[in-house]
Structure 1
Amino acid sequence: MSVAGELRLGIRANLAQFSLLVAVNALVGGELGQERTVLPLLAEQTFHLTGYTFLLTYVLAFGITKAATNYVAGIFSDRYGRKPVLLAGWLIALPVPLMLIWAPSWGWVVAANVLLGINQGLTWSTTVIMKIDLAGPARRGLAMGLNEAAGYLAVAVTALATGYLAARYGLRPAPFLLGLAYAALALGLTTFAVHETRDHARLEATQHTARADGRHDHLHADLTDSQVFAHTSLHEPALSAASQAGMVNNLNDGLAWGLFPILFATTGLPVSRIGILAALYPAVWGLGQLVTGPLSDRWGRKHLITAGMGVQAVALALIAVADTFAVWAVAAVLLGAGTALVYPTLLATIGDVAHPAWRARAVGVYRLWRDGGFAVGALLAGIVADLWGLRAAVWVVAAITAVSGLIVAIRMYETHTSAPLWEKGTS
């Protein structure tokens, strides 16, 4: 973290803390992954829910809560520091698996997902912010690739493990005991081993140099919360294009989480095979980011994002027309690859444009819109599925994804340049 008492930027200079935060974010992903395979099946088989819109209330509750909490996490991280926000997130995670195990009604599941949304908003946002703080500008894409890879590989591994546990021991309680172990371990690591990183952002702010083309001259250090929100949401072309693309990405993920297991089950696939399909998509997504994150540091951000949105649209169309395990597996791999191209690159884009003085708030706003996609996806997919069927819902989301890619192609400019916004720290 420091040499001779001095703070330094760069992954190598902060390797111990950076690696610890990668491990902590894997536990964040695992906490989410405990639900991916089991909860849609629990809704149908235990609580006997029939309407897709009603079934997806847990995704809606999660998405709304996580989106709002992301915004709060960004503001609080700038105001009070990163570590207190991370600690609060893990304390809130502890009751979630217990509520899912003992839930006597669907309302308990929805309430558990409200807490899960708060946990994910506080913990995942903060680990993103802390890694950007430590990494500095030269390896921002690599930092985000490692962060998101750890989280989504953990989602995949946990989805696969819970599918196995559910097939062998039943839908409750065995699958959710993993989530309880993850939360307890992460709380201990955060309390005793994680260090505050806000001073690294302050160090980077002192090294600010203006972009040569003058594009960001209006994005000075002392923007208010409302100005940060407006720039990230609407006014700044790269930030706003990234925000809408992030929302559509998680709209896809909300669809995959809530309806894909049910679609796969309509052909009579056993729970174990549904678990494999549920794990394939986040596994490729997670592993792929180990390549796409650093690739965006070399090739730039915009074209990877545009290509990724197109690949996702094709994958969703393939899922809509397929009815066999093999074809769905190919589509899941494609969907994961497309998402890997986009996910860390969008976060790196936010880091490229936002000034270190308000970068945590910009990340919070971006993640507000991105994770709002869970809620939009739950509502849209549920309503369309109830009216016209599961496959129609997938087709609608595929079309939206293609349009989102066009918006990025038209509106976003390249944000990673050979002369970056901030002077390079030690890498």
Structure 2
Amino acid sequence: MARTPVLPLFAAALGAGPAMVGLIVAASTITGIFLKAPSGAISDQIGRQRTLLFGAAVFGLTPFLYLLVRSDWQLLPIRFFHGMATAIYGPVVMAAVAALAGARKGELLAWFSLIKIATNALGGFLAGGLLYLMAGGGTPTVGNFHLIYAIIGGVGVVALSIAVWLIPGMREDAREKARSVREIYKKTVHGLAEVVHSGPVVLTAGMEGVQNMTMGVLHAFLPLYVVERAGLNVALAGLLWTILTGTSVVAKPLMGRISDRYGRRAPIVAGMILCAVPFALIPLFSSFWILAALAVLFGLGEAFVTTSTGALVADLAKRESLGAAMGVFGTIADTGQALGPIIIGLLLVKIGYLPAFALLAGFLLAWTALFVRTQRTA
């Protein structure tokens, strides 16, 4: 609820231009670039429970900080801090699921991703609808956005309460007790170094990182395009996001089973193509129904890619370095998600939506061709 479609519209209401909107949306992801890898590696040493509880606390309480915002630049430090939650939570949860999944990594990681995206889709729809009602169908005010974030904070407190109740009972691998800080640090660095020097892990994570560039751009600029260029209202902007993420939600379990049975690499390639083509076509249309069809295609592609890349990294990683592997994977993925809106935000000012989107789609296809060539020569 805190991100799409509310955040870019909030930034625009505060006077932010395209470049600033891109930076604000990317800010939380930039935090993940620096913290996901160490968070995952540290969880290998101290256990998943403590890191998950800390991440849940940041998730639950940070939305209330948005009530203090009066200028667009004030969103930046809050977004950097808010990103700490995802940076801690994401790789640790993925490592916990992968450790429990055995041979069903693709399927169970897909179910985890399904739940995450389903709540994302529902949150976008609810937030967009509430914003539309608060504004009476007109342009939302800064006060409307403050009220939305107060509601999000209330939901976060409920989620934090549930986490405090459930996480302490989570089963995890037995670990040695009474390790020194020095030993934990040494093992954490060793685990990270081992993963970073694994070419297949880095290459696979790179595919998700490149795909995440388009996802980051849609987070930032799909709501603005729909409202400012296509002339649709904020509720329809939220609905389009729900259609995109909802399609991914529905497709993920099946894609996960396909990945487990037939291999990871072919679904990754197919998904990248399915993401690139509709992404390039979005700026050509203003019809809600055509945009909805493109959102469905992109959602299918996103499901193909994300169910297979995470599972392939888990296959390639050693069990004792699983958290580190998921952390490095998350760092590379977040790098793409952060760079996408920043680069496109700058390009929009110079060349507009169609050339900017087409350039990024072409980059996706070029990177996919490199991935295919590398796999053939491996």
TM-score, length-normalised on structure 1?
A: 0.79
2:65 is aligned with 1:99: yes
Say which SS state the counterpart of residue 145 (structure 2) adopts. Answer: coil
Q: Deviations over 1:269-315 (max 9, x none)?
A: 11111111122111112221121112211111000001000111111
**Could you tell me how far 1:93 is from its partner in structure 2?**
2.1
1:171-186 alignment to 2 at 5 Å? 171-186=144-159
Match of 2:326 in 1: 363
Which residue of structure 1 aligns with residue 114 of structure 2? 149
Query: Aligned Cα RMSD in Å?
Result: 2.3
Distance (Å, rounded) in 1 between the aligned partners of 2:209 and 2:193: 16
Aligned match for 1:399, one of 348, 362, 377: 362
Q: In structure 2, what is the equivalent of residue 316 of structure 1?
A: 279
Identity among equivalent positions (%) equals 23
> AA paired with 2:123?
T
Q: Is the 8 A contact 1:316 1:398 kept in 2?
A: yes
Per-residue deviation, 1:102: 3.0
Q: Deviations over 1:301-336 (max 9, x none)?
A: 000001000111111122132232121111111111
Which amino acid letter does the alignment assign opposite residue 112 of structure 1? I
After superposition, give the CA deviation of every residue in 1:3-40 in whole Å (9 maximum; x if it has no partner): xxxxxxxxxxxxxxxxxxxxxxxxxxxxxx33201121
Match of 2:132 in 1: 167
Look up the match of 1:254.
Answer: 216
Q: Which deviates more, 170-179 or 356-365?
A: 170-179
Q: Aligned partner of 2:158: which letter?
A: L
Question: What pairs with 1:13-412 in structure 2 (closer than 5 Å)?
Answer: 33-45=1-13, 47-50=14-17, 52-136=18-102, 138-170=103-135, 171-194=144-167, 195-199=169-173, 229=192, 232-233=195-196, 235-265=197-227, 266-412=229-375
Q: Quote the offset at 1:124 in angstroms.
A: 2.1
Q: Residue 269 of structure 2 contacts residue 372 of structure 2 at CA under 8 Å; is this kept in 1?
A: yes
Task: Please name the residue that 1:213 is paired with.
Answer: none
For residue 95 of structure 1, report the CA deviation from its aligned partner: 3.4
The offset of 1:120, in angstroms, is 0.9
**Structure 1 pair 224–402 and aligned structure 2 pair: CA distance change class (3 A):** farther
Secondary structure of 1:323's match?
coil
What are the superposed Cα offsets for residues 198-238 of structure 1, whole Å, 9 maximum, x if unpaired?
41799xxxxxxxxxxxxxxxxxxxx96566546645x5443
Change (3 A) 1:407 1:130: same
Other structure's SS at 1:36 match: coil
Distance 1:239 1:344 in 2: 15
- Number of the residue aligned with 1:28: none
Measure how far apart 1:185 and its partner are: 2.6
User: How far is the alpha carbon of 1:150 from its aligned partner?
Assistant: 0.4
Q: TM-score, normalised by structure 2?
A: 0.89
CA distance in 1, matches of 2:374, 2:194: 14
Counterpart-to-counterpart distance in 1, 2:316 and 2:345: 36
Letter in 2 for 1:89: G
Structure number having the greater helix percentage: 2
The alignment partner of 2:132 has SS state of: helix
Cα deviations by residue, 1:128-153 (Å, 9 ceiling, x for unpaired): 111112112x1111111000000011
C-alpha contact 1:248 1:401 (8 A) present in aligned 2: yes
